[in-house]
Amino acid sequence: MQLFTRFTKASGAKDVLTEDVVIQSVKMQRDDPEMKKSMSDVLISIFTAMDANHDGHLDFEEFHRAFDHSGMVDIDFIRGVFDDIDVNHDGTLSIEEYVKAVIDYMCSDDEATTTVFGPLV
């Protein structure tokens, strides 16, 4: 709820969260440590839900399953994203790698930091 409130408050919207609202809010708050903390908290919860075997890491199958459930089935794209996020190349994603990658994607307009996704804003 805190993240939803941050997005809608920054955009001037009261209770509607659209793609445009998210993009505008991220642009306005991308350097705000509180915004990044709110995003991190949500991402940690998502990571924990994706970690099916509860070992504290995501292997490719766990990561792929999350994309598959969202309707994204291009295995080459998913493999590319996984490999890009796996900065230490150990074949798994740590919570730190995952959170950093998603926050970089959401908050950066530097294409070099979001090589697989491309800039959001």
Counting the structural domains of the chain, the total is 2
Q: Which residue has the tokens 């995952």?
A: 98
- State the pLDDT at residue 63: 95
Per-residue pLDDT of 39-61, as tens digits, reads 899 999 999 999 999 999 999 99
Q: Are residues 21 and 40 in the same domain?
A: no
Range of the domain at 20: 1-30
- State the pLDDT at residue 120: 42
* Spatial separation of the C-alpha atoms in residues 83 and 56, rounded to whole Å: 18
* Spatial separation of the C-alpha atoms in residues 12 and 29, rounded to whole Å: 13
Task: Record the pTM.
Answer: 0.76
Evaluate whether residue 120 is within a structural domain.
Answer: no
- State the pLDDT at residue 114: 47
Contacts of 89 (CB under 8 A, 6+ apart): none
Evaluate whether residue 72 is within a structural domain.
Answer: yes
Q: Are residues 20 and 4 in the same domain?
A: yes
Contacts of 46 (CB under 8 A, 6+ apart): none
Q: Are residues 23 and 38 in the same domain?
A: no
